[in-house]
Structure 1
Amino acid sequence: MIRAFKEEDTEAVIRIWLEASILSHSFIDKAYWEEKADAMRTLYLPLSEVVVDEDKDTGEVVAFIAFVEDYLAALFVAPAHQKKGVGSRLLALAKKMRDTLELSVYAENERAVAFYRKNGFRMTDKRIEEMTGHTELLMVFP
């Protein structure tokens, strides 16, 4: 069930973000993500509009999206729930919630790049992300 984020979802969202980030970004040291967890909790989540997806059987939060205006700051699915349509369902909702969506994704995260391209996003630019030194693709929908 997709619903608005509640404060009590914070730790589940942080866990999903951390596990999925480490899995999807193996080209970046795990410690980088672990060091960012507190900023996610205290800075990024409070500044964002967050929507979560709960497992229909267990009620456990298994995925989330986060917006800052028209910027899709996050779309993360717990590793055990990936490749089951959860991310596609959340992205479809994001497209309904915003006329335009912008995002950035690491070029080396080929699975995510392909996912966004398959869902109608196009690359508008690329840049070197300052904190990691890795290339990010800037993408937009439509």
Structure 2
Amino acid sequence: MEISDIRPDEYDRAAELWEASVRATHTFVTEADLDVFRPLVRASFGQIAQLAGLRAGDGLLIGFIGVQDENVEMLFLDPAYRGLGGGSLLLKHAFAHFAATSVDVNEQNPQAVGFYEHHGFRFASRSEHDSTGKPYPILHLRL
């Protein structure tokens, strides 16, 4: 696996990875919510200041991380590649190249919370709703 920039012609693939990952890990998200989030996520790829992709040996995009103002805004992997160290590679890349020091994570996604805590993040605060106003509590974690 290697990390490189994501090209604009790969944004659709990144959006597919986002949705596959959310379906595998965010069991609390409804189909209606996916319909709301899908275009927002797709549009965000061109707006995130720092975006990097994880690639399989054949160059296929299998995951990505996005950082804005030192905050990890998104980290998603193809579910077939979970547990193989790709998420850790992306996060270490964000530490080294994007100066990431914080992340907001769904409280209802304990695997993600544990992943970030394993990498040194600690609870800083909590919000009752996500950034779209949905009733999905968010934990704000800091290094």
Same fold at TM > 0.5:
yes
Gap runs ≥5 in structure 1? none
Provide runs of 4+ in structure 1 moved above 3 Å. none
Aligned residue among 123, 135, 142 for 1:140: 142
Gaps of 5+ in 2: none
Please report how far the alpha carbon of residue 67 of structure 1 lies from its aligned counterpart in structure 2 after TM superposition.
1.1
Cα distance in 2 for residues equivalent to 1:24 and 1:47: 24
Maintained 8 Å contact 2:124/2:141 = yes
Residue identity opposite 1:6 in structure 2: R
Shift, 1:25, TM fit: 1.0
Q: Which moved more, 1:13-22 or 1:28-37?
A: 28-37
- The 1-side partners of 2:91 and 2:100 are apart by 12
In 2, Cα distance between equivalents of 1:34 and 1:23: 16
Quick one: distance in 2 between partners of 1:17 and 1:34? 13
Deviation readout 1:10-66 (Å, 9 max, x if unpaired): 111000011111221111213312332112222x1111021001101x221000000
Partners in 2 of 1:34 and 1:90 — Cα distance? Answer: 27
Q: What root-mean-square deviation, in Å, do the aligned CA atoms of Structure 1 and Structure 2 show?
A: 1.3
Aligned counterparts, 1:1-142, within 5 A: 1-42=2-43, 44-48=44-48, 49-56=50-57, 58-130=58-130, 131-141=133-143
Q: Give the total of aligned pairs.
A: 139
User: The residue matched to 1:47 in structure 2 has which SS?
Assistant: coil
Alpha-carbon distance, 1:116 to partner: 0.3
TM-score by length of 1: 0.91
Paired residue type of 1:24: T
When the two structures are superposed, what TM-score results if normalisation uses the length of structure 2? 0.91
